[in-house]
Amino acid sequence: MTLWYSRNLLLGATLSLFFVALALISFVWTPFDVESLNIGAKLKPPGASYWLGTDHFGRDVFSMIMVGARTSIAVALVAVGIGMGVGVPLGLTAAARKGGWLDEVIMRGNDLIFAFPSLVIAILITAIAGPGAINAIIAIGIFNIPVFARLTRGAALSLWEREFILAARVCGKSRTRISVEHILPNVTNLLIVQGTIQFSLGILAEAGLSYVGLGAQPPTPSWGRMLAEAQTMVSFAPHLALVPGLAIVLTVLGLNLMGDGLRDALDPRIRVTRT
């Protein structure tokens, strides 16, 4: 049992860290400059000098994957940050004022956002505000807010019934103080797990938006746009579609495995049943 979930965690963390490492290394070094084109060396298959081949402009695919990882991770990370930064306080507030008008307003507002299919609205937002990485971040971020708000409220509500909270109330602590000092630390595990899952969804959403041309704009490499550009060349240069496709799959898989692993490792109930 222990082996199984730790193996999940290990595999997931390795995959995720691999791409994070690629992204970090790309700040200081890439095999080739991704912004300079070399038309003479276009559509080279993977080989010794270009490890993963070159695209239709003669750019090195491996370098583009490295820099693309940066784009994906940055967009997803900030989007999850927005979701947590706004959603968690909202959820804590709603739980602290359970049944009050503030709770109603927050939760109905969340329902409203939740009611829309997220990717479609993300497309709408970027179509109105103009394509670009910043707008993609905002669009994905907005849809992360209700996820975290609901999760936090749900977990916080049950905590509010517990004795240690009652003790804190008896001591005269304010609802806000209790939320920050006692509730928040007790929902952190949940938030980490959900954050990992949302992070992987954010990477998928970024790839989707760039695929339809609404994500990071050229010349900034992005995995989704690499896929879109490779479409008409699949039959004679399959590596152009396979490489970014695999990068997306492996990153999302890694993050999901890591999320599962973390949940197993962090959830006290599971830990109890397993020992």
Partner 1 sequence: MKRLNLGAFAAISICAGAAAHAAQTDITVAMQLEPPHLDPTSAAAGAIDSVLYSNVFEGLTRFDADGAVIPGLAKDWEISENGLTYTFHLQEGVTFHDGTEFEASDVKFSLDRARAEDSTNAQKALFESMDTVEVVDPLTVRVTLSQPTGALLFNLAWGDAVMVAPESIDDIKSRPIGTGAFKFVNWVQGDRIEMERNSAYWGDAPALETATFRFISDPTAAFASVMAEDVDAFVGFPAPENLPQFEADPRFQVIVGSTEGETILAMNNKQPPFDNPLVRKAVAHAIDRQAIIDGAMFGLGTPIGTHFAPHNPNYVDLIDLSNFDPEKSRQLLAEAGLADGFTTTLKLPPPSYARRGGEIIAAQLREVGIQTEITNLEWAQWLEEVFRGKNFGLSIVSHTEPMDIGIYARPDYYFQYGKPDFVTIMETLNAETDPDARSALLKDAQRMIAEDHVNGYLFQLAFPTIANAKIDGLWENQPTQATDLTGVRWTE
Query: For partner 1, which is the closer residue by CB, 189 or 217?
Result: 217
Q: Does 217 bind partner 1 (CB under 8 A)?
A: yes
Q: Does 45 bind partner 1 (CB under 8 A)?
A: no
Q: Given candidates 235, 268, 272, 275, which one binds partner 1 under the rule CB under 8 A?
A: 235
Dig out the tokens for 115 from the structure.
């009611």
3-class SS of residue 215 = coil
Q: Does 275 bind partner 1 (CB under 8 A)?
A: no
Q: Please state the closest distance from residue 131 (CB atom) to partner 1, in A.
A: 6
Q: Given candidates 99, 172, 185, 236, which one binds partner 1 under the rule CB under 8 A?
A: 236
Q: Does 35 bind partner 1 (CB under 8 A)?
A: yes
Q: Does 3 bind partner 1 (CB under 8 A)?
A: no
CB 168 within 8 A of CB 217: no
Q: Rounding to the nearest 10 degrees, give the CA dihedral for residues 98, 102, 108, 111.
A: -70
Neighbouring C-beta atoms of residue 6, cutoff 10 Å: 13
CB 198 within 8 A of CB 256: no
Calpha distance 199→215 (Å, rounded) = 16
Cis amide linkage into residue 185, ω under 30° from 0: no
Q: Which window, 93-101, 113-121, 142-150, 216-224, contacts partner 1 (CB under 8 A)?
A: 216-224
Q: Given candidates 31, 46, 58, 89, which one binds partner 1 under the rule CB under 8 A?
A: 58
Residues that bind partner 1 (CB under 8 A): 35-37, 39, 42, 56-58, 130-131, 213, 217-219, 231-233, 235-236
